[in-house]
Amino acid sequence: MKQTLTLFLLLHIWAVAAQPAFRFSYGAIVRGDTTSPRMAVVFTGHEFADGGNFIANTLKKRNLKASFFLTGDFYRNPDFGKLIGQLRQNGHYLGAHSDAHLLYCDWSRRDSLLVTQKQFVDDLTANYTAMFPFSIPPAEDELYFLPPYEWYNDTIAVWTRQQGLQLINFSPGTRSAADYTWPQLPNYRSSRVILQSIRDFERASPAGLNGFILLLHIGTDPRRTDKFYKKLPTLLRFLKARGYQPVRVDELLNR
């Protein structure tokens, strides 16, 4: 019995040590294995999809797979149905981003929830219901959920896990998530500044973009005329030249 227990403990220690060291923030995975050149380009969508066809065609031309986390409102929009079908057919990861793009917690007091658990679950369920017509199957081992506004707290992470999902978010360090901004906003960043922030981070960080979850938007407000998705070919050339391998999030985080 003692030998069996000792063997079990040794196997458990080996299994834990063999797992890649993912990085977490408030219960969400924010970065994959930093010893591997694999990384994920992730797009979120709610109201806008003006970059959808350009993004899909750019990825297909380079035979690359990305991940798209879309709201229920996005999935139900008849104007976006053809695009969603194309993304599905091309083999990209399609996930949930909440049904109605709710704000879960206060911007200045992160521990202050703005939704109840029932509101959270009902909204999330509605998001997956909207995905059903597109025959989006569950991942073989784990489903990933990217929260609306990319803003959440530990409680949201727990509620997500109780639904059998793993919360994820973008890797910090670049300005990529600001590609939705327009000039009148105080946090506006031009496409040139965003692209340069990715290059600067990659060169300054010891691990570069290894295991990185790089978040962009599939479409933006018309007030932003400087569309960052037009820089996607340049970004992908940069990643290739630096030796990175863009993959779907389920491939990046598959443990």
Phi first, then psi: give them for residue 93, nearest 5 degrees. Answer: -80, 125
pLDDT tens column, 213-232: 999 999 999 999 999 999 99
41 CA to centre of own chain: 7
* Token code pair at residue 228: 């960052």
- For residues 215 and 15, the model is more confident at 215
41: three-class secondary structure by DSSP? strand
Confidence check: pLDDT of 19 > 60: no
pLDDT tens column, 91-116: 999 999 999 999 999 999 999 999 99
Work out the pLDDT band at 8, boundaries 50, 70, 90.
very low
Percent of the chain surpassing pLDDT 90: 87
Confidence check: pLDDT of 255 > 50: yes
CA distance 35 to 180: 30
pLDDT tens column, 154-180: 999 999 999 999 999 999 999 999 999
What is the CB-side half-sphere exposure of residue 79 using CA atoms within 13 A? 8
* Token code pair at residue 236: 């992908």
pLDDT tens column, 34-61: 999 999 999 999 999 999 999 999 999 9
Q: How many CB atoms lie within 10 A of CB 197?
A: 16
Percent of the chain surpassing pLDDT 70: 89
Mean pLDDT, range 62-81, rounded to an integer = 98
Work out the pLDDT band at 13, boundaries 50, 70, 90.
very low
Domains annotated on the chain, with CATH:
25-253 (3.20.20.370)
Q: Positive or negative, the Cα torsion across 236, 240, 244, 245?
A: positive
> Is beta strand 93-96 parallel, antiparallel or unpaired with respect to 38-45?
unpaired
Work out the pLDDT band at 21, boundaries 50, 70, 90.
confident
CA distance 53 to 71: 18
Confidence check: pLDDT of 4 > 90: no
pLDDT tens column, 124-156: 999 999 999 998 866 544 599 999 999 999 999
CA distance 44 to 86: 16
148 CA to centre of own chain: 11
The pLDDT of residue 112 is 97
The pLDDT of residue 136 is 83
